[in-house]
Amino acid sequence: MGGESLYFGKPHPPIYILARQRISEVRSVPDDRILCIGDGIRTDILGGLGEGMDTLFISSGLAAGLFGPDPDWPEAPRLAAYFEDQKISPTFAMPFMA
C-alpha cells in the first residue's frame, strides 16, 4: 500500500544488533563465541547463519513431526532431507534441550 515496512525479529539483522548490544553490557564476546539456538529453521537458524554465527537446530520443536515417530530421536535421513529441502544447513542439530 506504499507504506514503509520495518522488520525487527529473526531472521532480520536488527534483533541481532540488539542482542550483541545486550551481551556487550555484560562482557565482550566475539561473534565466533556466540551460538544461536532455536527450532525455527527460517527464523532462528537462518538469522544466525545470516549473521555469520554458529547455529544449533532443535529438531524436537516446531518441525518435530517431520523427523520420525519419536521426537527425541530424529531419523538422520529425514533431518538431512529437511535441511536440503529448506536449503539451510545449521552448524549443529540436536533433538531436545536437556
* Strand stretches in the chain, DSSP E: 35-38, 54-58, 92-94
What is the distance between the terminal CA atoms of the chain, rounded to a whole angstrom? 46
96 alpha-carbon distance from chain centroid: 14
In a domain, 4, yes or no: no
Query: Which domain, by its residues, includes 79?
Result: 13-94
Q: Is residue 46 part of a domain?
A: yes
pLDDT tens, residue by residue, 30-43? 999 999 999 999 99
Global pTM value: 0.88
CB distance 35 to 73 below 8 Å: no
Q: Which pLDDT tens digit goes with each residue over 49-87?
A: 999 999 999 999 999 999 999 988 999 999 999 999 999
Question: What DSSP state is assigned to residue 44?
Answer: I
CATH label of the domain that carries residue 48: 3.40.50.1000
* Structural domains of the chain, count: 1
